[in-house]
Amino acid sequence: MECPQEKRYTYEDTKKTADWLLSHTKHRPKVAIICGSGLGGLADLLKDQVVFDYTKIPNFSHSTVPGHAGKLVFGNLSGMSTVVMQGRFHMYEGYPLWKVTFPVRVFSLLGVETLIVTNAAGGLNPDYKVGDIMLIRDHINMPGFAGVNPLSGPNDDRFGARFPAMSDAYDPDLRKLARTVAKEMGCAGCLREGVYCALGGPNYETIAECRFLQRLGADAVGMSTAPEVLVARHCGMRTFGFSLITNKSVLDYESKEKANHAEVLEASRQSARTLEKLVSLMVQRIEHNNNLA
């Protein structure tokens, strides 16, 4: 549980970080991408890169999880000015959610209009296979059920309204675009669409918990993403996301299978190229549509 006495970053603190970044790069990103475990290779696709280590950015936290490089990369992706987080922050690392989501507020002040989130997730849906890409239709934010929410505390109207709607959290037009691009790529067969459930971690789920989440309607489970989407929507950004199914959740008490992070990283490496191409082509279409507007 977050400590209410802890001083949070203010709008002015956030603007200081955004202004520092703007003063150190000529890029003015319209799209931000947050990369999950083993998916940081998306940043390698950017042209004219300007790279910042998280440790050098004012007010930024440090990434401590294997598979998260801890770098913020600016550049051009398919003609669109883009910023990519190679690794995110998590509540299980000991960070309060206002720190976990601080980069999203910074992106808002940089002028970002669209946030793309990716993650590695366990498949709860029995039809899902390792290597499938799940287009996130909606999420279940389990920590939020206990009042652990990045929007809790004083609200600053300069970021957004006190009570943001979340019924359209994952942009339907962008989901439609993703399905179209996947079909053109010939990978529609591995593209799923479902509900992502966010837990606090860092332990993987018990069998009883997996069965419970299935009954709630979750198709995949992980330890991230929902807090960043909440803050992005609060700031008025369009958001959508992908889950790379890197392991099958254990649902049978007779099973000898056990989830582990090494398995997650290996599955990410095997399927990441498809996801990277899909995201790159989507950004290209977003840029094209913006030019036509």
Report if residue 5 sits inside a domain.
Answer: no
Report if residue 239 sits inside a domain.
Answer: yes
What confidence tier does 267 reach under pLDDT thresholds 50, 70, 90? low
- The domain of 49 spans 11-292
What are the two backbone dihedrals, phi and then psi, of residue 198, each rounded to the nearest 5 degrees? -100, 125
Which residues are within 8 A (CB) of 212 and not within 5 positions of it... i.e. 6 or more apart?
none
Contact 225, 117 (CB under 8 A): yes
- What b/e string do you get for 254-287 counting C-beta neighbours within 10 Å, with b at 16 or more? eeeeebebeebbebbeebbebbbbbbbbbbebbb
Mean pLDDT (whole number) for 168-196: 95
Contact 158, 181 (CB under 8 A): no
What confidence tier does 259 reach under pLDDT thresholds 50, 70, 90? confident
Which residues are within 8 A (CB) of 143 and not within 5 positions of it... i.e. 6 or more apart?
91, 97, 149, 198, 199, 200, 226, 227
Report if residue 3 sits inside a domain.
Answer: no
Write out pLDDT tens, residues 52-62. Answer: 999 999 999 98
Enter the pTM of the model. 0.93
Report if residue 27 sits inside a domain.
Answer: yes
Write out pLDDT tens, residues 116-132. Answer: 999 989 999 999 999 89
Cα–Cα nearest to 61, from 30, 23, 104? 104
Let me know if 117 is exposed, middle or buried by CB neighbors in 10 A (0-12, 13-18, 19+). buried
Question: For 257, what's the count of Cα atoms within 13 Å in the CB-facing half-sphere?
Answer: 14
Report if residue 276 sits inside a domain.
Answer: yes
Would you say residue 292 has pLDDT above 60? no
Report if residue 159 sits inside a domain.
Answer: yes
Write out pLDDT tens, residues 137-147. Answer: 999 999 999 99
Would you say residue 82 has pLDDT above 70? yes
User: Across-strand partners of 116?
Assistant: 33, 240
What confidence tier does 199 reach under pLDDT thresholds 50, 70, 90? very high
Report if residue 150 sits inside a domain.
Answer: yes
Show the DSSP H helices in the chain as ranges: 11-24, 97-100, 102-110, 142-145, 172-185, 207-216, 226-234, 261-292
Report if residue 6 sits inside a domain.
Answer: no
Q: What is the pLDDT of residue 64?
A: 81
Helix (H) or strand (E) run with residue 194 in it: strand 191-198
Mean pLDDT (whole number) for 65-88: 90
Q: What is the pLDDT of residue 40?
A: 81
CATH code of residue 212: 3.40.50.1580
- The average confidence (pLDDT) of the chain is 91
What confidence tier does 2 reach under pLDDT thresholds 50, 70, 90? very low
- Which sequence positions are flagged as catalytic? 37, 68, 90, 92-93, 120, 223-224, 247, 261
Mean pLDDT (whole number) for 90-104: 95
Quick one: DSSP state of residue 175?
H
Mean pLDDT (whole number) for 227-254: 94
Would you say residue 1 has pLDDT above 60? no
What confidence tier does 271 reach under pLDDT thresholds 50, 70, 90? confident
The number of distinct structural domains making up the chain is 1
Q: What is the pLDDT of residue 164?
A: 96
Write out pLDDT tens, residues 22-44. Answer: 999 999 999 999 998 777 888 99
% of the chain beyond a pLDDT of 90: 75
Q: What is the pLDDT of residue 272?
A: 82
